[in-house]
Amino acid sequence: MENKNKSMGNHVLILDFGSQYTRLIARRVRELHVYSEIVPYTVGIDKIKTLAPGAVILSGGPSSVYEKNAPRTRQDILNTGIPLLGICYGLQLIAYLSQMKVAPAGGREYGLANLEILKESKLLAGVTNQSNVWMSHGDKITGFPEDYLVTARTTNCDIAVIESQKRKIYGVQFHPEVVHTPEGKKILGNFLFNIAGMKPDWDMGNFVHSAVDHIRETVGKEKVILGLSGGVDSTVLALLLKKALGEQTAPVFIDNGLLRKNEYNELMTRFKEKLELDVTGIDASEKFLARLANVRSPERKRKIIGKTFIDVFSTVQAKTGKVKFLAQGTLYPDVIESVSVNGPSATIKSHHNVGGLPKKMHWQLIEPFRELFKDEVRQIGRELGLEEEYIMRHPFPGPGLAVRVLGAVTKERLQILREADAILIEELHRFNIYDAVWQAFVVLLPVKSVGVMGDLRTYENVAAVRLVESVDGMTADWYAAPPEFLKKVAGRIVNEVKGINRVVYDLTSKPPGTIEWE
């Protein structure tokens, strides 16, 4: 989406070479209140000059620059006079285009390393010597032109930072955009403000204004169907569309039989009475559950759910008349896990509203949040007046409880999970933990265990409790919940939910796991 409020020359172009962290670069730049725009690495130099950015950043990527089909941009990028920062693969590409030597390193370096600052550096001004940086590389640079300086190194990387003040070209072998590089934002700020001379003049209020203009321009006088899920993303999108289009929007909330306890009725009341949305409610639970019968594959579940949503949405046109657009609250973590965006990033799983949609649809998609993260959408919600209690609601997957009932999805197993999940949420609030975690939920496993209740043998389901901390959903760590909380939750679930006799706690981070189990 083009941002019409960006200042000419005061925005950043990010060339994407396939890194799953590319949107994190854009996010960090936006956090510094500078507008950023991601473009494919194939964008031409003429186009870059037309866009007139104040700075260009080359992203990381999974390739090696000396590979035959490695993604590359033209050498002209070094001669535009626009300040240039290369990150990881981007640094190696700068080296390659400058006729430096890039070759496989003797020892690969992944994870945390200490950055040793060697010389005075504009890029590293104010950065603590020996601070942690997040490395991810298997290649090294040897030999470089005289007007480049090596200003920092790590134990396994003699050239960790290069600078050419004359050419306004800078490069880092680590990832300043990830949270594992604590002073990464300071480094990016040095590049933007001290080197490129940019001004911090952009915020999410600008995004809202720009998004409203873009939606109006795209939709014209046509109608838009919005699939409400009850989550933060689709609710904020409903308010944005209401601001942009008014009655041209047809919000639809479908009971797919995969919602949490009492969720459908509670949310319908909330949508209509508190948010004043003209919502059409549809009970399609039997259709969804019939199509999911005996389906065990997570990918098949997501694709079936995605197609069924589209089929149900199609029935709404009988009430609204012809509709040209379908709006969704898709976020960047959904996209990056589902598809390769501009480069060779790996598919992890299909999200029902990304990879799970049919390839051919008679609607055009509107996804204003596609390059945003959850906390950014929450900020948009604040801009639009959504109350804090709802803004901080935990993420809930579009496929609902279907991806938390592992294996076959049945009414009986869904009901067991609903009761266990309701207990967890209730205790999170009682212990004042709900707002301290990113997401918390129960997973019903396709496993039974032997137990004993009242001197009788039981053979019932195992449930897993998962609580995670995260900033943006791209990475997450398990939450060290108080033992007394876990004891209370496990005790209540086993005693109050018929069908569960054992509760376990998930201690897996993302990566290597994902937040959801499916």
Residue 470 half-sphere exposure toward CB, CA atoms < 13 A: 24
175 included as an active-site residue: yes
263 included as an active-site residue: no
What is the SS3 string spanning 306-375?
HHHHHHHHHHHHHHHCCCCEEECCCCHHHHHHHCCCCCCCCCCCCCCCCCCCCCCCCCEEECCCCCCCHH
Q: Which of 11, 137, 163, 177 is catalytic?
A: 177
Tokens of 137: 């590389």
d(CA 98, CA 72): 13
d(CA 129, CA 149): 17
CB burial readout 299-309, b (16+ within 10 A) else e: eebbbbbbbbb
Q: Which of 175, 351, 352, 394 is catalytic?
A: 175
**β pairing state of 55-58 and 84-87:** parallel
Q: Which of 88, 109, 163, 394 is catalytic?
A: 88
Which strand (E) or helix (H) includes residue 251?
A: strand 249-255
Cβ(377)–Cβ(391) below 8 Å: no
DSSP string, 368-418: TTTT--HHHHHHHHHHTT--HHHHTPPP--TTGGGGTB-SS--HHHHHHHH
Q: In what order do the strands lie in the sheet containing 325-327? A: 280-283, 249-255, 224-228, 325-327, 364-366
DSSP string, 22-89: HHHHHHHHHHTT-EEEEEETT--HHHHHHH--SEEEE---SS-TTSTT-----GGGGGS-S-EEEETH
214 included as an active-site residue: no
The set of catalytic residues is: 88, 175, 177
